[in-house]
Amino acid sequence: MKIALAQQNYIIGDFEGNFEKISDAIDQAIQQNTDLILFSELAICGYPPRDFLYFNHFIEQCELIINRICAIAQDRIAVVIGAPSKNPIPDGKDLYNSAYFIENGKVKHITHKTLLPTYDVFDEYRYFESNRTFELVEYKGKKIAITICEDIWDTGETNPLYTVNPVEELAKLQPDFLLNLSASPFNYKQAIKRIEIVSRNASAFNIPIFYCNNTGAQTELIFDGGSLVIDNQGRLIDELPYFRTAQKYYELDVNNTIQIINDIQNSNTKDEMALIHDAIICGIKDYFGKLGLKKAILGLSGGIDSALTLYFAVKALGKQNVLSVLMPSQYSTNHSVDDSLKLVENLDTSYKIIPIKEAFDVLDKILQPHFDGKPFDVTEENMQARIRAIYLMALSNKHGYVLLNTTNKSEAAVGYGTLYGDMCGGLAVLADIYKTQVYDLCRWINRNDEIIPKNIIEKAPSAELRPNQKDSDSLPDYEILDRVLFEYIENIKGPDEIRQILGFEEALIDRILKLVNRAEFKRHQTPPILRISPRAFGSGRRVPIVNKYCQ
């Protein structure tokens, strides 16, 4: 049996566009005399559709596309593809998350997803009913098990999340091989873990597995692809490229031995910095491309965060589509402007210089009578940040740019930013990357040539909103801060556990956690954050704004 994996990049709700991609893949597979082609989870509508699933019209469009796929497949190829399906039973949710098996131009079988995740960014039980029966599909003398994404991730560890293991149940029916349709979001630990999970299932149950994953970005979620073929002993036969579409063919013989038919040039790396680098570029490119946007603008301060954001914007959108705005204040150092100019020269991109002192002096003069003689404080600092936001948003509105936010995860965590100032933007590029990771990424980018000026990387970080200001005046050193934040946010450890793990003083840990929890109201008002970690701010971390925990 000849099997094709179609790793594709869909747009949620773009039924016609998604159908064209699916149709082209089917046509190519037919030309290669393929018996079966496998697509990813909810490929018809795009993943995650979220509350669009409540619209009857949305579900009807999915059904129409399924009918059109049946018409083009006819008796020439079998198609396995993901789409929502209606639950005919009144009890329970109205929909299933399903895999359609299409043969001879008809829907031969519909397999429903069993395990519906509700952790991290997932909220599938909000929409879908869980499968409770397990059956195989017979096709051309082979017995096929079909699972959907999460169904293969419950591998029976000491504390399993679910009470049933779908692969174990299907293995009892002795399938020849297993197909898995996935839409598994990227994080920088996912590539290795994915291979481990799929391999563990294959070897434990003596089943070859064909795993087809989504690729591309959907707002904050990034999908890296990396679709897999694993033999029945858990050995990796093939892995499709990361962050791009691909279609590949495999021959399954009578002994269920797998042979690769066509070879795609593929040099996947598991290097963490390389993965984050490619994921961010994918996230920006698809956010703009899928919304029909082209041009980005950002404030370039001379600091490392805006420098890295500019680099990513140029890589994703092209130098001709990115504008940097330097907005020095009376507190800006000369090297901030010089470093910024060196960076835009290295990247060969456009810039403007618009000082903010004149606007600040006017605004300060108007407000001073109402400040009742109180001294300079964070108020005046925030005024400067908000003046810069006015400049950037004015240029954005006038010329059709999208403002990129340059806040990093460390700053977002402790609220070290100004609402309606430097926290403005249409997309937060770095807000899931800790400050120490920002430095690591810049050094990685400079591994062959100095693209980001050395002085930007080496100088002490500063917001430059008051004389001789440094981040360390307000925050612990980032090397310390990020270690505490990682334990609290990613590892979900409380203050006592963090003290035991890191050995830091109680007062320091309590201060950091208090900053994090008090800043929740700011994070609720920030742009979408490109997710690259196992636990990002946004839909994957749900914390109440009003709280007294660790305060």
pLDDT of residue 46: 98
The answer to whether residue 521 scores a pLDDT higher than 70 is yes
Q: Look at the domain 274-472 and name its fold.
A: Rossmann fold (3.40.50)
Identify the residue whose tokens are 């926290």.
Answer: 423
Structure confidence at residue 156 (pLDDT): 61
- Predicted pLDDT of residue 549: 85
d(CA 8, CA 22): 8
Average pLDDT for 206-213: 98
Q: Is the pLDDT of residue 467 over 90?
A: no
As a whole number of angstroms, the distance between CA 321 and CA 310 comes to 11
CB 280 within 8 A of CB 314: no
- Of 29-38, 53-62, 158-167, 314-323, least confident by mean pLDDT is 158-167
Average pLDDT, whole number, for the chain? 95
CATH 3.40.50.620 segments of the chain: 274-472
Q: Which among 21, 45, 113, 220 is annotated as catalytic? A: 113
Structure tokens at 233: 């002993």
Confidence class for position 472, pLDDT limits 50, 70, 90: confident
- For 2-262, CATH gives 3.60.110.10
Report pTM. Answer: 0.95
Q: Are strands 209-212 and 228-230 parallel, antiparallel or unpaired?
A: antiparallel
For residue 336, the model assigns a pLDDT of 86
Q: CB under 8 Å to 34, separation ≥6 — which residues? A: 2, 3, 4, 77, 249
* Pairing outcome for strands 177-181 and 209-212: parallel
Let me know if 365 is a catalytic residue.
no
- Show Cβ contacts of residue 153 under 8 Å, excluding neighbours closer than 6 positions: 115, 197
Query: At 165, which amino acid appears?
Result: N
Q: What is the pLDDT of residue 160?
A: 80
Q: Phi first, then psi: give them for residue 82, nearest 5 degrees.
A: -95, 140
Which range is least confidently modeled, 148-157, 406-415, 448-457, 527-536?
148-157
User: 26-55 burial string, b = 16+ CB within 10 Å, else e?
Assistant: beebbeeebbbbbbbbbbbbbbbbeebbee
Q: What percent of the chain has pLDDT over 90?
A: 91
User: Which residues, including other chains, have CB under 8 Å from residue 393's CB and lie 6 or more apart?
Assistant: 403, 424
**Percentage of the chain exceeding pLDDT 70:** 99
The residues, ordered by sequence, that sit 6+ positions from 105 with a Cβ below 8 Å of its Cβ are 70, 71, 73, 74, 75
Q: What is the pLDDT of residues 51-91, one digit of tens each?
A: 999 999 999 999 999 999 999 999 999 999 999 999 999 99
Query: What is residue 460's predicted lDDT score, i.e. its pLDDT?
Result: 84
pLDDT value at residue 158 = 60
pLDDT of residue 186: 97
- At what angle are helices 15-31 and 56-73 packed, to 10 degrees? 20
pLDDT band, residue 447 (cuts 50/70/90): very high
Instruction: Give the largest CA-CA distance in the chain.
Output: 87
Give the pLDDT of residue 473.
81
Q: How many whole angstroms separate alpha carbon 463 and alpha carbon 392?
A: 17
B/e letters for 148-158, b = 16+ CB within 10 Å, e = fewer, are: bbbbbbbeeee
Identify the band that residue 486 occupies on the pLDDT scale cut at 50, 70 and 90: very high
Question: Is 196 noted as a catalytic residue in this protein?
Answer: no
Q: Choose between 208 and 550: higher pLDDT.
A: 208
Residue 503, Ramachandran bin (φ over 0: left; ψ between -120 and 50: alpha; else beta): left
Residue 142: CB atoms within 10 A of its CB come to 18
* Arithmetic mean of pLDDT, 251-264: 89
Q: Is the pLDDT of residue 157 over 70?
A: no
> For residue 147, what pLDDT is reported?
98
The single residue of 21, 41, 45, 464 carrying the catalytic annotation is 41
Residues whose CB falls within 8 Å of the CB of residue 383, separated by 6 or more in sequence, listed in order: 360, 363, 364, 367
Residue 535, CA atoms < 13 Å, CB-side half-sphere: 14
pLDDT at 530: 98
pLDDT grade for 178, boundaries at 50, 70 and 90: very high
pLDDT at site 126: 96
pLDDT-derived band at 155, boundaries 50, 70, 90: low
In tens, the pLDDT along 97-120 reads 999 999 999 999 999 999 999 999
Contact 430, 305 (CB under 8 A): yes
Integer CA distances (angstroms), 253 to 177, 232, 250, 257, in order:
11, 13, 10, 5
DSSP secondary structure letter of residue 471: G
Residue of 149, 212, 282, 442 marked catalytic: 149
Looking at residue 174, its pLDDT comes to 97
At residue 154, does pLDDT exceed 80? no
Structure tokens at 373: 């003689």
Q: Is 282 marked active-site? A: no
